[in-house]
Structure 1
Amino acid sequence: MIKNGLLLGVFAFFCTALVAVVNQQTFDKIKQQQQLELKRVLHQIIPDELHDNELTEYCILIHDEDALGIDEPLPSYIATKQSLPVAIAIEAVAPDGYNGNIRLVIGVNTAGEVLGVRTLTHSETPGLGDKIDLRKSDWVLGFNKKSIQDEKDRLWHVKKDGGDFDQFTGATITPRAYVKAVKNALLYFNSNKDTLLTRPANCEVNYQ
């Protein structure tokens, strides 16, 4: 029994070591791929012709659970043209998705108009809730060019609740949570625009 126990212990040690080595070797590659995907998404929601800076290099951290849906700092990216702010991409979380948190990013110009919205990560049901992913559906394009006046703006709901956004057949919870998250982020931007757009860069994006 002692011999078998030692063999099992040695086997477990080498398996653990192997996993650690693989993780170490792939960490940098994974991080690089995440950065490339982030850049791709940011350039989709804030078109290149609007700015002349590299968006990921001008990042600020925002910590507001009510506005962004999570009790931790999230990055936002300020777009500038000739050193003047023209737009911001705000990361937010819809905490009440059908299968948990939905992480998204909202591009907004200085007038408070949505330039684009994209889903970063989610665990929604394939074939139903995953229509929030542009690769599955163009539903997120419905946010383009929209703005919000105040909390009572009834258009910022799914149609089932009297709003302006389509719900998914058999999956109302997901779009309802998503619309609410975008709405909260826009309201936060409208209330804090001057402060946000003049803050110095103060974050390094790290999803690990």
Structure 2
Amino acid sequence: MISFDIAPYREHPWYQALLLGGACAVVSLLLVGGNAMTSQPIQDHLTADKLAMLAQVLPQSYYDNDPLAETIELHSDALIGPATLMLARKNGELSACALQLSTAGWGGVMQIIMAIKPNGELLGVRIISHKETPGLADKIEREKSDWITSFDGKSLTNVSEKGWAVKKDGGEFDQFTGATITPRSVVRGIHQGLLLFQQWLKNQPSATTHTTHNEQAVEVHS
């Protein structure tokens, strides 16, 4: 049996480079294999989370399509980043939309999801995430208070322009004791969302118009 002594080569740079390259190749293969095994379960989990989030404001009875597959990016100067409009269809016709947007709160960015009928009426609103003060401003959460449900049924038609504010500012919506900025931000975000939806709807040839995934839509400037 022929033996090969590698000891004399261990100090050579090419040997060290070869050893390092081999180790990197093994690690890369392990990472690729691990990603292939976990990417689908992760994607399935994310989809389930999005559907659960959607179900909070938009009942399944409103659609027979996949709203997550029909999304449109909308833009408003009054919001943080683009908003995502998800189209719900029943028998091919637009039955409702869900709009996810971000607005500035007292503690940081708040993410809001709202469902809107084609006539502009709100089906429901929920706060997805926020950084507001616990015990003081977290009444925006449905689990802590029913305040967020006060927007159900509201629209740009049955609430005046001035009415889209907290009562302290002359509007229709309650604020929280010692925490006015948070509800003020939520009201402002919802109002901007409704304006954004209204502008988008005006640009559609009809309520049944089919739109493609990630189509760029209108911008609203405040």
The alignment's TM-score, normalised by the length of structure 2, stands at 0.71
Which of the residues 65, 77, 81 maps onto 2:86? 77
Which of the residues 188, 191, 201 maps onto 1:193? 201
Offset of residue 155 of structure 1 = 1.6
Which residue of structure 2 aligns with residue 202 of structure 1? 213
Which ranges of structure 1 fall in alignment gaps of 5 or more residues? 1-16
Output the amino acid matched with 2:95.
V
Which residue of structure 1 aligns with residue 58 of structure 2? 46
Aligned residues: 180
Instruction: State how far apart, in whole Å, the 2-side matches of 1:99 and 1:203 are.
Output: 30
Which residue of structure 2 aligns with residue 65 of structure 1? 76
C-alpha spacing 1:60/1:199, structure 2 compared with 1 (3 Å): farther
Contact 1:157–1:163 under 8 Å retained in 2: yes
Offset of residue 164 of structure 1 = 1.2
Offset of residue 48 of structure 1 = 1.9
Matched residue SS, 2:149: helix
C-alpha spacing 1:123/1:31, structure 2 compared with 1 (3 Å): farther
Measured against aligned partners, the alpha-carbon deviations of 1:15-50 in whole angstroms (never above 9, x if no partner) come to xx9xxx8xx798766654443222112122122222
RMSD: 2.7
Instruction: State how far apart, in whole Å, the 2-side matches of 1:83 and 1:58 are.
Output: 12
Contact 1:74–1:92 under 8 Å retained in 2: yes
What is the aligned-residue identity percentage? 36
Instruction: State how far apart, in whole Å, the 2-side matches of 1:120 and 1:171 are.
Output: 19
Contact 1:45–1:106 under 8 Å retained in 2: yes
C-alpha spacing 1:105/1:44, structure 2 compared with 1 (3 Å): same
Contact 1:74–1:91 under 8 Å retained in 2: yes
Taking the TM superposition and a 5 Å limit, the aligned residue runs for 1:73-112 are: 73-95=82-104, 97-112=105-120
Which residue of structure 2 aligns with residue 145 of structure 1? 153
C-alpha spacing 1:84/1:65, structure 2 compared with 1 (3 Å): same
Instruction: State how far apart, in whole Å, the 1-side matches of 2:42 and 2:83 are.
Output: 20
Which of the residues 19, 35, 38 maps onto 2:47? 35
Is 1:127 paired with 2:135?
Answer: yes
The alignment's TM-score, normalised by the length of structure 1, stands at 0.75
Contact 1:108–1:115 under 8 Å retained in 2: yes
Output the amino acid matched with 2:76.
E
C-alpha spacing 1:120/1:26, structure 2 compared with 1 (3 Å): farther
Instruction: State how far apart, in whole Å, the 2-side matches of 1:48 and 1:200 are.
Output: 20
Instruction: State how far apart, in whole Å, the 1-side matches of 2:136 and 2:47 are.
Output: 28
